[in-house]
Structure 1
Amino acid sequence: MRVLFIGDVMAEPGLRAVSLHLPDIRGEYDLVIANAENSARGKGISKRAYRTLIEAGVDLITLGNHAWDHKDVYELIETAPIIRALNYPPGTPGKGYWVFTHGEERLLVVQVMGRVFMDPLDSPFLALDRLLEEVEAEYVLVEVHAEATSEKYALAHYLDGRVSAVLGTHTHVPTLDAVILPGGTAYQTDVGMTGTYHSVIGGETETFLARFLTGRPQPFRAAKGPARFHATELVFENGKVRAISPYIWEEPWTPSEY
């Protein structure tokens, strides 16, 4: 089973990157997952952003701490192939996991949110313990949407040998630490951002500079510019991950275009 996980899709450049490139490679994968919590103008998800991703070939969408920034999500999350963090309190709309069937094998995809420098949700460690006792699958892919690299690494080691892969999202900075841990679990601290890197983590550079130089709040504006597609490939075989590989594509462009 071949799976492609697309890192945080950021605003119009991110949607454009997915629309331009994913259809060309979609046939190589059994399942395509995309984090889209920043797909609608940089914060949250909208019906338009959802349709763009699905039409391009995305099978499953994950969210994050900006999950609720657009009211469209409340309608989408109840029926569409979208998951939010598992460790939200009971009663939160939507689902924290998804089960994908490929032949006779099942892949459990689950997202948890970190708590360090983020919202004080339930423990992602204990939430995953409970889920792994309740849901059985040949393979388990855990997305950790978190700020602190230490929390991501700790969770990966905690789960090593119990899940197939742990992939980090949220910081919008791709890391070159893709590895298979001693217990057999594949791990990468952050898949990276799908969007324009002519920015400050996807935001307009001038606005962020004004914030840092003045110390005063500034309105958020998503950056424009050439798109870059960041993802991670996973190959599942015989009960474990056989390979983990970062994947990058850049939109052809000339400076005059932007």
Structure 2
Amino acid sequence: MRVLFIGDVFAEPGLRAVALHLPDIRNQYDFVIANGENSAGGKGLSRAAYKRLREAGVDLVTLGNHAWDHKDVFELIETEPIIRALNYPPGTPGRGYWVLENSGQSLLVAQVMGRVFLENLDDPFRGMDRLLQEVSADYALVEVHAEATSEKMALGLYLDGRVSAVLGTHTHIPTLDSGFLPKGTAYQTDVGMTGTYRSIIGGEIESFMARFLTAMPQRFKAAEGHARFHATELLCEDGKAVAISPYIWEEPL
């Protein structure tokens, strides 16, 4: 089984990168998953952004701490292959996992959100314990949407040997630590952002810079510019990942 996980798709440059490049490589993968929580202008998931991701070849869209920033998501999440963090409390719209199936093989995809410097959600560690007891599939991929690298690593090590792969998102900066944990789980602290790196984590440089220089609130504006496609490839066999590698494509100048 070959899986492509696309890092946080940010605003128009990110959507453009996915639309331009993914159709050219889509047939190489059994499943394609993308984090789309920043795809609608940098905050949230809109119906139009979701449509572009799906038309390009994305099978499942994941969210994060901006899950509820766009009103469209409340309807989409009840009917479409979209997941939010598993560790939201009971009664939250949507679901925290999805099982994808293709050619007789199944992939459990779950997302948990970290609690360090983010929202005070339920325990992601025990939440994954419960999920793995209740749901089974040939392979399992866990996305950790978190701010602190220590929390991402802790969750990776906690799940080591029990899931095929643990991939981090949210900080928008790709890390060079893709590899395997001691018990065989593939791991990367952050897949990175699909968008323009002529920005401050996807935001317009001037407005973000003003926030640092003045300590005053600034109106958010997504950056425009040259797009980069950041993803992570997984090759899985016999219930586990056997290869993991970053995948990068740049929009032609």
Which interval holds the TM-score relative to the shorter structure? over 0.9
Structure 1 match to 2:49: 49
Measured on the aligned residues, the alpha-carbon RMSD in Å equals: 0.6
Structure 1 residues 61-80: aligned runs within 5 Å: 61-80=61-80
Structure 2 match to 1:84: 84
Structure 2 match to 1:147: 147
Please give the alpha-carbon distance, in whole angstroms, between the structure 2 residues aligned to 1:214 and 1:136: 51
Give the partner amino acid of 2:42.
Answer: G
Q: TM-score, normalised by structure 2?
A: 0.99
User: Are positions 1:178 and 2:178 aligned together?
Assistant: yes
Please give the alpha-carbon distance, in whole angstroms, between the structure 1 residues aligned to 2:239 and 2:68: 35
Structure 2 match to 1:200: 200
SS in 1 for 2:194: coil
Task: Give CA deviations for 1:215-254 in whole Å, capped at 9, x if unaligned.
Answer: 100000000000000000001111210100000000011x
Give the partner amino acid of 1:191.
Answer: V
- With 45-54 and 101-110 compared, the bigger mean Cα shift is at 101-110
Moved segments of 4+, more than 4 Å: none
SS in 1 for 2:75: helix
- Which sections of structure 1, spanning at least 5 residues, go unmatched? 254-258
Q: Among the aligned pairs, what percent are the same residue?
A: 76
Task: Give CA deviations for 1:173-210 in whole Å, capped at 9, x if unaligned.
Answer: 00000011110100000000000000000000000111
Please give the alpha-carbon distance, in whole angstroms, between the structure 2 residues aligned to 1:200 and 1:167: 22
- With 142-151 and 105-114 compared, the bigger mean Cα shift is at 105-114
User: Are positions 1:242 and 2:242 aligned together?
Assistant: yes
Please give the alpha-carbon distance, in whole angstroms, between the structure 2 residues aligned to 1:186 and 1:252: 31
Structure 2 match to 1:215: 215
Give the partner amino acid of 1:161.
Answer: G
Please give the alpha-carbon distance, in whole angstroms, between the structure 1 residues aligned to 2:182 and 2:102: 27
Q: TM-score, normalised by structure 1?
A: 0.97
- Which sections of structure 2, spanning at least 5 residues, go unmatched? none
